[in-house]
Amino acid sequence: MRVLVINSGSSSLKYQVRDTDSNEIAANGLIERIGEGSGGPADHGEAMEDVAAVLEGVLTQKPLDAVGHRVVHGGERFSEPVLINNEITRAIERLNPLAPLHNPANVLGIRAITAKWPDLPQVAVFDTAFHRTLPEHAWRYAVPDSLYRQYGIRRYGFHGTSHEFVTGRAAALLGVPLDGFNAVVAHLGNGASLTAVQGGASIDTSMGFTPLEGLVMGTRSGDLDPSILIYLQRQGLSADEIDTMLNRESGLKALAGNNDMRAIVDAAEAGDRHARLALDVASYRLAKYIGGYHVAVGGAQALVFTAGIGENSAVFRALVVDRLGALGVKLDAGANLVRVTSPRVVSTADSAIPVLVVPTDEEQAIAEATAAIVLAS
Ligand code: ADP
């Protein structure tokens, strides 16, 4: 099946045309600076028009069978991929307040495709869906119930498509049946989250009501004392200023002056104290979470690294695993340095559990989920 995969960020749109039988990528591209003026597309609807124009040649050879959309927030309603119709689009739109930067972009993309190719099946694949299995003791915040009932305040979790894909790959690599697989999965990109997997299902995850909670990320703070927000507001900062500060100006960028892991590692090796501190804060926070999730899953059978940093930064992996001595986890220094693009073990034979590097491919996962839904409908 030929599937167009659409992954909209707040001001960007990534697209790929995937053939799900051969797993070939027939076309891919990125449109940036959406809605930022200066001649670019005004919104995600216009950006979709641009994508359709670029793809014209590729699609005359072999037309599309379906479109798969990565949708960031599925709320409590969507626990798996769904075939899109008008009612589903409106339901995604009603979730806009929970993901104000992302879901409106998804809705515009869906509507643009409906207008252009009304007969083409479209499927929504939700970033929150893999975390539908969180038990209530993991998704509840210890706040008055009215916050949950009135505002939907609970842990949702994100990066689900990646965590699910990587979990499946890791179990296959180890030859363990998925429903008997316990693991701790670290998705470390510009955004970063950790998931506790038990019996192949997500039972806890570090991102919460929004993607701000949890680990130290490229530009996000991760966990902090909620009183800090109240204190800053009382000092006169606006909600928007605090939002921007914690989502765009914090994390590695705040500590090291940079959110590119390669540059931070280079600077740290050259003796930059701030870069060193950034690596220490981020690896320390992550190691604490790994210890916690090892307990949460009742003993993980593997620790899995994925995404830009997890797949490529041998230095950062080593900094994290070096802090896991109490768990008996040991990296193989040589294996950790090898650069390959397929799943692999990077721990020593006597490590208490294997450490894996498993490349993620959200587009492949979305294309496969889309094809499955369309075939079944
Ligand atoms: P996202 O999809 O969340 O934007 P990615 O998964 O692409 O992010 O990860 C981006 C991060 O990966 C950046 O911090 C970048 O520096 C890091 N990264 C990418 N390649 C390498 C590499 N070869 N070595 C170290 N870090 C890398």
Checking if the pLDDT of 205 tops 90, the result is yes
For atom 12 of ligand 1, the residue with the nearest CA is: 308
For atom 19 of ligand 1, the residue with the nearest CA is: 308
Burial class (CB in 10 A: 0-12, 13-18, 19+), 235: exposed
Q: Is 312 in the pocket of ligand 1 (CB under 6 A)?
A: yes
Worst-scoring range by mean pLDDT, 36-45, 46-55, 182-191, 328-337? 36-45
Which residue out of 247, 306, 309 has the highest number of ligand 1 atoms within 8 Å of its CB and is therefore the one to mutate?
Answer: 309
Q: What percent of the chain has pLDDT over 90?
A: 89
Return the pLDDT at 9: 80
Q: Is 262 in the pocket of ligand 1 (CB under 6 A)?
A: yes
CATH number of 177-357: 3.30.420.40
State pLDDT tens for residues 264-281: 999 999 999 999 999 999
Return the pLDDT at 253: 97
Q: Is 308 in the pocket of ligand 1 (CB under 6 A)?
A: yes
Q: How far apart are CA 218 and CA 55, in angstroms?
A: 32
The residues annotated with a catalytic role in the active site are 127
State pLDDT tens for residues 109-165: 999 999 999 999 999 999 999 999 999 999 999 999 999 999 999 999 999 999 999
Ordered by start, the domain boundaries in the chain are 2-126, 177-357
Worst-scoring range by mean pLDDT, 43-47, 119-123, 242-246? 43-47
Checking if the pLDDT of 39 tops 90, the result is no
**pLDDT classification of 375: cutoffs 50, 70, 90:** very high
70 assigned to a ligand binding site: yes
Return the pLDDT at 209: 96
86 CA → ligand 1 middle, Å: 37
Across the strands, what pairs with 304? Answer: 185, 356
Worst-scoring range by mean pLDDT, 62-66, 85-89, 104-108, 302-306? 104-108
For atom 23 of ligand 1, the residue with the nearest CA is: 312
Predicted structure pTM score: 0.95
Return the pLDDT at 218: 96
2-126 belongs to which CATH class?
A: alpha beta
Return the pLDDT at 323: 98
Q: What is the mean pLDDT of the chain?
A: 96
* Alpha helical stretches, state H, 127-192: 136-139, 145-151, 160-174
- Sign of the alpha-carbon dihedral angle for 126, 121, 68, 38: negative
State pLDDT tens for residues 157-195: 999 999 999 999 999 999 999 999 999 999 999 999 999
- Mean pLDDT value of segment 221-247: 97
Return the pLDDT at 45: 87
Same fold for the pair 2-126 and 177-357: yes
Checking if the pLDDT of 107 tops 90, the result is yes
Pairing assessment for the beta strands 122-126 and 302-306 based on DSSP bridges: unpaired
Work out which ligand 1 atom sits closest to the CA atom of 315: 25
Across the strands, what pairs with 5? Answer: 16, 68
153 CA → ligand 1 middle, Å: 30
Q: How far apart are CA 337 and CA 339, in angstroms?
A: 6
Checking if the pLDDT of 246 tops 90, the result is yes
